[in-house]
Amino acid sequence: MSLITARWMSIAKEAVDRAAIVARFLCLLHVADTYLCSPTLVYGPSMFPTINITGDILIAERVSHRLGKVGPGDVVLVKSPVNPRKTLTKRIIGVEGDRIIFQVDPVNSDRCQRVVVPKGHVWIQGDNTYASNDSRHFGPIPRGLIQGKVLCRVWPPEGFGSLSH
């Protein structure tokens, strides 16, 4: 084997080794983001004042909802039952068996409606009653649509950690 061929084989081996390291890192990153926790940019009026209209970066963990460890008061990421391309951020108000009383149209009416959350479902609502598309519009959602539970806010810095409302 010539010196040039040996050198090219050495370079090729090093390139393959480095590519394998990058591939393993990307696989680990994918698994962590999909199944453990991930940062999420959330914006819009539906969770105001808990979440800023202009946007907050939140950390969501993706384990507890699989173990059935989410409940009333938890802020969760949910696949929209109306548009599966969208992810919603809402607060769980009730779980299966809970009786929920809600205003049908809080902007134009005081009319209330009652519903019992069916088995395997949760009732979600935005903290901003007047500007939230939630279970009041599409009903209880299956637990299977929950994608994660919000742990904390990481941006903006002045709101770091808190998600109180």
Cα–Cα distance, 37 to 66 (Å, whole number): 13
Query: Active site residue: 2, 13, 38, 46, which one?
Result: 46
93: which residues sit within 8 A by CB, 6+ positions away? 72, 100, 123, 124, 125, 135
Query: How far is residue 49 from each of residues 28, 75, 128, measured CA to CA in Å?
Result: 35, 13, 7
Single-letter code of the amino acid located at 98: D
2 tagged catalytic: no
Cα–Cα distance, 127 to 46 (Å, whole number): 6
Could you tell me which of 51, 52, 58 has the C-alpha nearest to residue 37? Answer: 58
Quick check: 92 and 71 in contact, CB under 8 A?
A: yes
90 tagged catalytic: yes
Query: Active site residue: 79, 90, 135, 162, which one?
Result: 90
Could you tell me which of 11, 122, 2 has the C-alpha nearest to residue 71? Answer: 122
Active site positions, annotated:
46, 90
